[in-house]
């Protein structure tokens, strides 16, 4: 599969606010097309550390660099694609069966994640070979 048709789904958020500063809104089932049931954020990832390295079976998520930046490596079972999160107005949809890794966190990165469901460890596929088998059934 060529990188140009890798299915990357962006959500474009509007920068609101005024002379006092910026304000970005994300509304459940409006800006994101699922009901947000959980919000979590990664505020202080140590330099050089990479996180993620899993896919979800059912969970839908939107990732936003609320400050700073990081690189997200996506793998759909066929090929990999890198995207940069570097703006609080850019939301990256990470849908089920999309392997994702987070790399190159800047010191000031706060990665905000909006999720369609509560935390459930049984929804994770943390083994890449298992992910490849499930994504490419014979």
Catalytic annotation, residues: 54
Q: How far is the CB of 36 from ligand T46 (least distance, A)?
A: 13
Q: How far is the CB of 54 from ligand T46 (least distance, A)?
A: 7
Give Cα separations from 62 to 102, 103, 134, 136 (angstroms): 13, 17, 22, 24
Q: Specify the DSSP element, H or E, that contains 39.
A: strand 38-42
> Between residues 61 and 116, which has the closer beta carbon with respect to ligand T46?
61
Binding interface with ligand T46 (CB under 6 A):
38, 40, 42, 51-52, 61, 63, 113, 119
> Between residues 6 and 51, which has the closer beta carbon with respect to ligand T46?
51
> Between residues 13 and 65, which has the closer beta carbon with respect to ligand T46?
65
Q: Is the dihedral of CA 76, 77, 81, 87 positive or negative?
A: positive
Counting DSSP H helices and E strands in the chain, the numbers are 1, 12
For 85, the 3-state DSSP assignment is strand
Q: How far is the CB of 18 from ligand T46 (least distance, A)?
A: 32
């Amino acid at each position: 599969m060529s990188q140009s048709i890798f299915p990357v789904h962006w959500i474009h958020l509007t920068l609101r606010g005024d002379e006092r500063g910026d304000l970005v809104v994300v509304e459940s089932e409006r800006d994101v097309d699922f009901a947000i049931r959980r919000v979590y954020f990664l505020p202080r990832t140590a330099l050089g550390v990479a996180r993620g390295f899993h896919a979800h079976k059912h969970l839908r998520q939107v990732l936003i660099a609320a400050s700073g930046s990081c690189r997200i490596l996506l793998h759909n079972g066929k090929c990999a694609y890198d995207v940069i999160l570097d703006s609080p107005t850019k939301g990256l949809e990470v849908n089920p069966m999309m392997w994702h890794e987070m790399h190159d966190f800047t010191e000031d990165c706060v990665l905000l994640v909006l999720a369609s469901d509560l935390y459930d460890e049984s929804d994770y596929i943390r083994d890449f070979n298992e992910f490849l088998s499930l994504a490419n059934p014979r």
